[in-house]
């Protein structure tokens, strides 16, 4: 398996899975993809149906990471996908499944269900990939005798998933910037209560955008970055995307009885990482009917899938919503899909994403490329705060199931794309406790809290408050990496 950039770099060069594991963008600014998607045969699909999650993950990942010896990869996946790690299940009986499928009911002739992806340590789907990344990073760094200092900015989900994945890992430190006093008490406690010496919470006196600007400033200081061995774990990381492919297969097997059936998935989307994994599963041969992209008021992606126009938003045009992990101005993994949509033509991808930088977007309607979107199964929809509140209430009343705001966006949009006889699987991306305010608004009651999280707000917290100043952050990191 060789990896190439969506903008053309690396064609004719050799880039293995391990080569691109620790990096971010390709050197030409593009995103890495395999030179071709591995295909799953009918025999394999039949055999995989019975596999436990960890072994299914092994079978899928080995197709993308053939430079890691099988016995090592098997050990890594078995250590990652355990009932101990994904222990925050709503129903104990499901603990061994890692991503249980919860059937809601039949609507419009279509079985409607939720694929629970948020039973990991931080109660959001990012754990599914990040936990594997922690183990892969530790393994790869040890092999090459290297260390890594991860620098990131978070307003919640990504940062805590990264910290819980990297805590206690040899050769890795995490420096996570978050806006001082701007996160919910629950999210603050989740991150700041970690006492591991390799985890550094930095509360920046500013807002989330300031934190992101500091990370950018540090990343642009190439000498510093190289000297301090700074890396990132953002959503464009290829290993994160590929780890997410696994649960599309798992969800398919749980929702069907035979491999002749087809299913649709609805994916609450922001940076297009999650649904990009669904696209890859489909390209590998998983029988997927529709991939439904659900957005909130930040509807960059819905606009594209309805009109063929991709128009990134300015930060002033980006709404702060009650499904905050989908509040994006541009979708950082979208380029991977555009590459496939355009028949893998790196010259055109390069031109289009130059247009994004220079003109704020591009239009594929006129060129006729947009018509091909259907061949890839994509459709979309958007949801608002009122839709979320209504959907949370409705799912609770009809199905006795409490869902979070992001999942509610998914259910709302899924209902607009049901097809009789085709199971619709909505990906559950977080647990309600993380977004309690909207639960209280919708249901006039407290969100369900998994047992492991009782009283976390009262635990001692470990964090450092720093001025909104990249130089100050650089000095802080340098003092701790000597």
Ligand X SMILES: *Cc1c(COP(=O)(O)O)cnc(C)c1O
Q: By C-beta, is 4 or 124 nearer to ligand X?
A: 124
The residue annotated as part of the active site, out of 126, 290, 412, 434, is 126
CB neighbours of residue 323 within 10 Å: 28
| Residue among 216, 4, 236, 37 at smallest CA distance from 133 | 236
Residue 193 structure tokens: 């209560």
Select the span of 22-30, 35-43, 205-213, 268-276 touching ligand X (CB under 6 A).
Answer: 268-276
Residues 165-224 within binding reach of ligand X (CB under 6 A): none
Among 271, 295, 296, 383, binds ligand X (CB under 6 A): 271
Select the span of 181-189, 262-270, 349-357, 470-478 touching ligand X (CB under 6 A).
Answer: 262-270
CB of 301 to ligand X, least distance (A): 8
Among 120, 134, 159, 270, binds ligand X (CB under 6 A): 270
Does 126 interact with ligand X (rule: CB under 6 A)? yes
Among 326, 392, 422, 439, binds ligand X (CB under 6 A): 326
CB of 161 to ligand X, least distance (A): 8
Are 214 and 470 spatial neighbours (Cβ–Cβ below 8 Å)? yes
Q: By C-beta, is 45 or 85 nearer to ligand X?
A: 85
Distance CA 202, CA 274 (A): 28
Distance CA 370, CA 245 (A): 25
Q: By C-beta, is 119 or 140 nearer to ligand X?
A: 119
Does 325 interact with ligand X (rule: CB under 6 A)? yes
Q: By C-beta, is 228 or 325 nearer to ligand X?
A: 325
Select the span of 13-21, 94-102, 224-232, 272-280 touching ligand X (CB under 6 A).
Answer: 272-280
| Helices 436-443 and 385-399, axial angle in degrees (round to 10) | 70
Contacts with 152 (C-beta within 8 Å, 6 or more apart), sequence order: 158, 159, 162, 174, 175, 176, 177, 215, 232, 233, 234
Q: Verify whether residue 126 is a known catalytic residue.
A: yes
Q: Judging by beta carbons within 10 Å of its beta carbon (0-12, 13-18, 19+), is residue 315 exposed, middle or buried?
A: exposed
Indicate the length of the chain as a whole number: 482
CB of 224 to ligand X, least distance (A): 28
Does 429 interact with ligand X (rule: CB under 6 A)? yes
Does 430 interact with ligand X (rule: CB under 6 A)? yes
Contacts with 424 (C-beta within 8 Å, 6 or more apart), sequence order: 110, 111, 112, 113, 263, 264, 265, 266, 292, 414, 417, 418
Distance CA 335, CA 57 (A): 25
Number of residues that bind ligand X (CB under 6 A): 16
Backbone angles phi, psi at 82, to 5 degrees: -115, 160
Among 65, 88, 140, 269, binds ligand X (CB under 6 A): 269
Select the span of 66-74, 266-274, 302-310, 445-453 touching ligand X (CB under 6 A).
Answer: 266-274
Does 124 interact with ligand X (rule: CB under 6 A)? yes
Q: By C-beta, is 159 or 231 nearer to ligand X?
A: 159
For strands 3-5 and 32-34, give the pairing.
antiparallel
CB of 41 to ligand X, least distance (A): 28
Does 235 interact with ligand X (rule: CB under 6 A)? yes
CB of 185 to ligand X, least distance (A): 18
Does 136 interact with ligand X (rule: CB under 6 A)? no
Residue 271 structure tokens: 């940076």
Distance CA 162, CA 131 (A): 8
Which residues here bind ligand X, judged by CB under 6 A? Answer: 124, 126, 157, 235, 268-274, 325-326, 406, 429-430
Active-site residues: which are they? 126
């Amino acid at each position: 398996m060789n990896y190439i950039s969506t903008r053309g770099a690396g064609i004719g060069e050799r880039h293995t899975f391990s080569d691109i594991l620790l990096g971010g963008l390709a050197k030409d600014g593009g995103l890495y993809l395999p030179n071709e998607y591995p295909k799953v045969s009918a025999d394999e699909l039949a055999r995989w149906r019975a596999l436990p999650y960890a072994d299914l993950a092994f079978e899928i990942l080995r197709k993308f990471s053939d430079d890691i010896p099988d016995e090592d990869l098997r050990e890594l996946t078995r250590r990652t996908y355990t009932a101990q790690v994904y222990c925050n299940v709503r129903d104990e009986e499901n603990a061994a499944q890692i991503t249980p499928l919860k059937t809601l009911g039949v609507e419009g002739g279509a079985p409607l269900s939720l694929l629970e992806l948020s039973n990991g340590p931080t109660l959001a789907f990012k754990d599914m990939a990040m936990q594997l990344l922690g183990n892969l990073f530790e393994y790869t760094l040890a092999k090459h005798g290297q260390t890594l200092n991860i620098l990131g900015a978070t307003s919640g989900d990504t940062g805590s998933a990264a910290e819980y994945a990297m805590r206690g890992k040899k050769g890795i430190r995490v420096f996570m910037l978050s806006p001082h006093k701007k996160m919910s008490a629950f999210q603050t406690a989740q991150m700041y209560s970690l006492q591991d010496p390799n985890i550094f919470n930095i509360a920046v006196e500013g807002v989330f955008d300031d934190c992101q600007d500091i990370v950018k400033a540090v990343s642009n200081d190439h000498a510093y970055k190289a000297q301090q061995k700074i890396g990132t774990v953002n959503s464009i990381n290829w290993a994160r995307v590929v780890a997410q492919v696994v649960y599309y297969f798992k969800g398919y097997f749980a929702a069907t009885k035979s491999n002749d059936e087809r299913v649709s998935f609805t994916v609450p989307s922001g940076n297009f990482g999650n649904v990009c994994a669904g696209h890859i599963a489909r390209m590998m041969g998983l029988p997927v009917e529709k991939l439904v992209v659900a957005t909130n008021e930040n509807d960059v992606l819905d606009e594209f899938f309805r009109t063929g126009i991709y128009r990134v938003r300015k930060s002033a045009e980006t709404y702060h919503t009650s499904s905050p992990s989908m509040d994006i101005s541009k979708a950082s993994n979208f380029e991977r899909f555009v590459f496939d949509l355009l028949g893998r033509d790196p010259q055109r991808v390069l031109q289009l994403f130059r247009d994004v930088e220079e003109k704020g977007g591009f239009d594929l309607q006129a060129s006729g490329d947009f018509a091909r979107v259907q061949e890839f199964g994509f459709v979309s929809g958007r949801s608002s705060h009122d839709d979320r509140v209504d959907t949370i209430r409705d799912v609770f009343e009809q199905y006795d199931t409490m869902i979070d705001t992001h999942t509610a966006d998914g259910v709302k949009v899924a209902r607009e794309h049901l097809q009789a006889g085709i199971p619709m699987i909505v990906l559950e991306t977080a647990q309600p406790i993380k977004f309690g305010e909207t639960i209280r608004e919708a249901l006039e009651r407290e969100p369900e809290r998994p047992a492991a999280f009782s009283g976390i707000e009262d635990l001692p917290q470990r964090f450092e408050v720093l001025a909104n100043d990249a130089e100050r952050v650089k000095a802080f990191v340098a003092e701790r990496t000597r």
